[in-house]
Amino acid sequence: MAEQPVLLDRNKPDAGTLPSVLASDDQPQILEALTLLLQSAGFHVDTVGSPESALHALRNRSYDALLMDLNYTRDTTSGHEGLELLRQVLEIDSQLPVIVMTAWASVDLAVEAMRRGARDFIAKPWENARLLTVLQTQVTLYRVLRRAQLLEAENQLLRATDRPEMIAGSPAMQPVLDAMTRVGPSDANVLITGEHGTGKEIVAHTLHALSARAEQPWIAVNTGALSEGVFESEVFGHVKGAFTDARTDRIGRFELADRGTLFLDEIANVPVRQQAKLLRVLEAGELEPVGSSRVRRIDVRVLSATNADLMHECAEGRFRPDLLFRLNTVEIHLPPLRERREDIPALAAYFLARYAARYRKQSRGSTRQLSTPSSITGGLETFENSNIPWSALYS
């Protein structure tokens, strides 16, 4: 069977669609048997044969459950690969029901997996009735929980008044909104990609507003504007006397964002030498301010953004692949404005209202009177600062 799943739709299925299960095992005959059983019971099934493929599938489509083996290397029974996969899966979606499969001789390993977040385990060879009962129970609970989370996320969006307004009604933005609703309430690190001016910081701020950290600090830093000489001090902080001009202690951005969200804009511009230090903080959840030997624990969700192709940057040696791995638990790609022309009237109305309020003018007429440029090559800032005569609609 093909290792890569056929990804039909990245949207979460609702109550009217088939429950969707991802099955992960390195034995094709196991995957074939699971597919026949689950499809006959009314499940949609995607199959993968390795932890890497499972993570790829989970980052590109939402599932109602993951059924996974714990061993992927021939002649091994340690379960290390499976436990590491479990950890990474729960980073992507901490609520996703994970049911582990293991031989009877590895029940202790299955118990360890449940201690680390798996919902249940199935012994091989399995009993069809038990497997189907476990899956149906977990899928039902997950859908109820997700529905409640989605309603709460929508309510938070309606209540939020201190964040930039997000205008996204076009079809091209629907996958973005779906992904934001899915990962916003989680603690997953998110990499936001797209051309300059597509609204990456607005998406990041909205993700913060949707999360359980919404009442905690939101700290944004443009890493591209920090020279290598000041990066470490700005991001990690320093103590008095750490260097010549360090006359007082300085709290870094990571520490300011403790229990909240840190947004790292233009992440591709971080110098390679500093990338190693950033990676250590993301891996260990702790940092040492410049000049200090005291380790400080931090609890920060990291959102990052770039208009660069980070895979290419990694290939060229300008960006660390292990850092990209830590930042890119989930990726959200923003389309350019030229691909979302349906949003232009609403954006024009928004900018008109903002300028009218700024200059204390009354708006008159309609944005339909404006002549929108036929060729849009930039992002939102370019559109806002274009030659559109906003003053023509002031009185």
Q: How many domains does the chain contain in total?
A: 3
End-to-end CA gap in the chain: 67
pLDDT in tens, 294-319: 678 889 999 999 999 999 999 999 99
201 and 272 in a single domain? The answer is yes
Q: How far apart (Å, rounded) are the C-alpha atoms in residues 382 and 182?
A: 30
Q: Which residue has the tokens 């609520």?
A: 95
| Same domain, residue pair 206 and 323 | yes
Q: Is residue 182 in some structural domain?
A: yes
Instruction: Give residue 13's pLDDT.
Output: 39
Does residue 352 share a domain with residue 285?
A: no
Are 182 and 230 within one domain? yes
CATH number assigned to the domain comprising residue 139: 3.40.50.2300
| 54 & 69 share domain | yes
CA atoms within 13 A on the CB side of 200: 26
Instruction: Kindly give the parts of the chain with pLDDT less than 50.
Output: 1-16, 161, 366-367, 369-371, 374-375, 387, 390
Q: 218 and 330: one domain?
A: yes
6 belongs to a structural domain: no
What distance in Å separates the CA atoms of residue 106 and residue 78, rounded to the nearest whole number? 9
Q: Which secondary-structure segment (H or E) carries 67?
A: strand 65-69
Question: Are 314 and 220 in the same domain?
Answer: yes
Whether 330 and 343 share a structural domain? no
**Residues 174, 58 share a domain:** no
Name the average pLDDT for the chain: 80
The pTM score is: 0.59
The domain in which residue 361 lies consists of 338-393
User: Would you state the pLDDT for residue 67?
Assistant: 96
Residues 351 and 305 in one domain: no
Tell me, yes or no, whether 264 and 186 share the same domain.
Answer: yes
